[in-house]
Homo-oligomer: A and B are copies of this chain.
Amino acid sequence: MEIKKYDLVAIGTGSAMLVVDGFLRFKPDAKIAVIDKDEPGGICLTRGCIPSKLIIYPAELLAEIKKADEFGIDVDIKGINFKRIMERMRKIIEEDIKMIEEGLKASKVDYYRDVATFIEPYTLKVGNNIIKGETIVIGSGSKPLIPNIPGLKEAGYLTSDDVLKLDEIPESLAIIGGGYIAMEYGNLFARLGCDVKIIEMADRLLPNEEIEISKAVEREMREIAEIYTSHRVVEVRSGNPKVVIAEKDGNKKEIEADEILVAVGRAPNSDILKPEMGGIETSNGWIKVNEYLQTTIPRVYALGDAIGKHMFKHVANYEARVVLSNILGMRIAINYKAVPHAVFTQPEVASVGMKEREAINKFGKDNVLIGFARMEETGRGLAMKANGFVKLIVKKDGEILGCHIVGKDASILIQEVVLAMQNDIKVSGIINSMHIHPALSEVILWASSNLMSVDDYAKLSKNFI
């Protein structure tokens, strides 16, 4: 076996590539290796956010079209060409992957399309090569977590990866899990006409969101899908249909479906990467890093899903910038002050920062204010019958601690709050900024101007939780 030495080794072609690109700008003569066992582009492009959003958008359109009648528009949905939706997605993704692949091959970095496994510190086995890196960046991503349910493997199941390969809408689909991947695909398939059944162990869907948000999404989802919360899947039986057996309070429920989608979370790739062989500590398989994103081996950094914190592409991109700075000697600590995320269901969900409970635990009930406004209280929200709301978590001195939105365009509306939080703008900074009347963004202004005590909010929210 040949031993190859590099200045920088990147494991993964997702956000780790930002480190590579940045490193090359500062050190154009550096020797760099880039390794990925899968198609280049990372999870986000090849089997994550991008393909999912490409196929989810038609569901959003369908939801809008179904509301058209309320606005005096008589419209008939004659058919849905699922194959065309999927082909458009695959064409775009394949072109992007090809472009990245060709770029990698044409560049001066050595690109290995192979599995990387640590064999000792700073040293990896990659196919038939031994690769040593002066500095190593681990951006090895994650994979669908498959729970150990009797009969599941035998019955067969889909993961979020497999969904992208479908050419037909299954007649019925049981989804194990109620987190954001489960909900995005559940919403999509239900709106496409599939008989969707969502089985979640927690007592509500999207259990990581504020309870009001979960309930708002659940209300809409119950109109288009069967929802089983507080149900633990205990067994799966093969057959046609397959049968998912879920237990609640000791009672068993048999849920039949043509296909099963497993979406209970993500798992690390440490079983393949074997970071411990490189002296790198992990926690449940996720790579441990300090605030500079260094692993337990000083010149080995890790970012993105691999560290198991905020598994979102925009976070991984940010982490890549921090890693790059630290590699180049500009010591920067990571700051997860304003990390937003969204769930692209109808209604859409977006969230940043602390939830009410976290804020109360940290600062005490008397130091926390809640801002609340409904979209329908704004002119534009009224016009579009936008059925959602904004919940703002504010410290008594005006510092914005968090924001949670459900409803139309939540993923855009939240950005103003993210900017404020990241740049230490207090809630008065939002109130003093003009908001176009009547744009939907007024709902952020109304929530900011409608601050109340935790107790008063509890009385108000009783009606919609």
Contact = CB atoms under 8 A, between A and B. Distances in A.
A67 B76 CA distance: 14
Contacts of A77: 73-75
A267 interface: no
A65 interface: yes
A76 B76 CA distance: 5
Contacts of A67: 61
Contacts of A315: 434
A250 interface: no
A44 B437 CA distance: 9
A454 B301 CA distance: 39
A434 to B, nearest CB: 5
Interface stretch (A124-132, A281-289, A406-414): A406-414
A317 to B, nearest CB: 7
Interface in A416-448: 416, 418-420, 422-423, 425, 429-430, 432-441, 444
B412 A440 contact: yes
A97 to B, nearest CB: 14
A362 to B, nearest CB: 21
B423 A411 contact: no
B423 A423 contact: yes
A61 B64 contact: yes
Residue of A341, A432, A437, A440 with most partner-chain B CB within 10 A: A437
Interface in A41-64: 44, 49-50, 53-54, 56-58, 60-62, 64
A68 interface: yes
B414 A412 contact: no
B422 A429 contact: yes
Interface stretch (A113-121, A137-145, A255-263, A378-386): A378-386
Contacts of A313: 437-438
B436 A429 contact: no
A432 B439 contact: no
Contacts of A413: 412, 415
Given A57-B384, A64-B64, A411-B441, A72 B88 contact: yes
Contacts of A435: 314, 340, 415, 418
Interface residues on A, range: 35 or more
B78 A338 contact: no
A387 B32 CA distance: 38
Interface stretch (A79-87, A102-110, A214-222): A79-87
Nearest to A434: B314
Contact of A412 (B50, B340, B379, B412): B412
Contacts of A436: 312, 314, 340-342, 350, 411, 414-415
A26 interface: no
30 contacts: A49-B437, A53-B380, A53-B383, A56-B383, A57-B383, A60-B384, A61-B67, A62-B73, A65-B75, A72-B80, A72-B81, A72-B83, A73-B80, A75-B75, A75-B76, A314-B434, A318-B434, A340-B435, A350-B439, A411-B436, A411-B441, A413-B415, A415-B439, A416-B419, A418-B434, A419-B420, A419-B430, A419-B433, A422-B433, A425-B425
Given A49-B437, A61-B67, A317-B437, 18 more contacts: A53-B380, A57-B380, A57-B384, A58-B72, A58-B73, A64-B64, A64-B65, A65-B73, A72-B81, A73-B81, A74-B77, A75-B76, A318-B434, A340-B434, A412-B441, A415-B444, A419-B419, A423-B432
